[in-house]
Amino acid sequence: MENHVHRLYGPWAAITGATGLLGRAFCMQLASRGFNLHLIARSSQKLAVLEAEIKKDFAVQTSSTVCDLLEAEKHPQLLSRLNSTGEIGLLILNAGIFPFGSFEQIQIEDHRRTVALNCMSSVELAHQFLELGVPRSTRGLIFVSSVQAKQGVPFMAAYAASKAFNDILAQSLWYESKDRGIAVQSLCPGRIQRPDRPAARGALSPETIASCSLAKLGKKLCVVPGFSNRLFLSLTSMLSPERRSSIMGNMLRPARH
């Protein structure tokens, strides 16, 4: 295990979207490294199950906060309250919405929700985290973006744009924060294996993605797990925006549209 991660960014980590597929993987990976965990998610029932799983397998402390990050009025200074019970050295912004379909056929409210959660909640929580007055030399901040952030993605337009927002925000904050001992990362996963579905070509397990992210924290700004994902982005980066969008549209149209 990468003990340097706990040494630099422990003892507490906070994870939004903690009960989701990747969020849960981050929780387990962090607990295996000795982190105490602040778990943030919408469902009290799912949080209780996750806390029980963590405590069953790992000798770490946990706290859970039921919070819908779309309801901004319910989480002012959320991280300050959490930090008062356990100093947050690492924040993982994992919560997100994934609408799929033709842009105009998706309800405008769903587009608003996508931008509010994927973009604005990241801005608010990153701002809270960076202004925390904690007496430590190093901290870590991970934005969960996506390989879809790197080009236009038909039928996932608002999602891809929101993830591009997080990718650019992370890259910008990396420079602003590095001299303060804060490591910022933009994590760009591709397809994620789901336990209830056959493995898709090139898909990675959520555990592999979380482990890769933590291993590279403080060493690499933009992290793209998986050789096939990195190869795809490398090859398509040489194409025009029109060609890249056409490739993505042709890939997605037969399967989902």
pLDDT value for 257: 40
* List of long-range contacts for 46-51, beta carbons under 8 Å, 24+ apart: 46/19, 47/18, 47/19, 49/19, 50/18, 50/19, 50/24
Q: What is the pLDDT of residues 9-43, one digit of tens each?
A: 989 999 999 999 999 999 999 999 999 999 999 99
Confidence of residue 256 (pLDDT cuts 50, 70, 90): very low
Closest CA to 47 of 103, 79, 95: 95
pLDDT value for 2: 53
Q: Model-level pTM?
A: 0.93
CB atoms within 10 A of CB 73: 5
pLDDT value for 242: 86
Q: Which residue has the tokens 């309800």?
A: 107
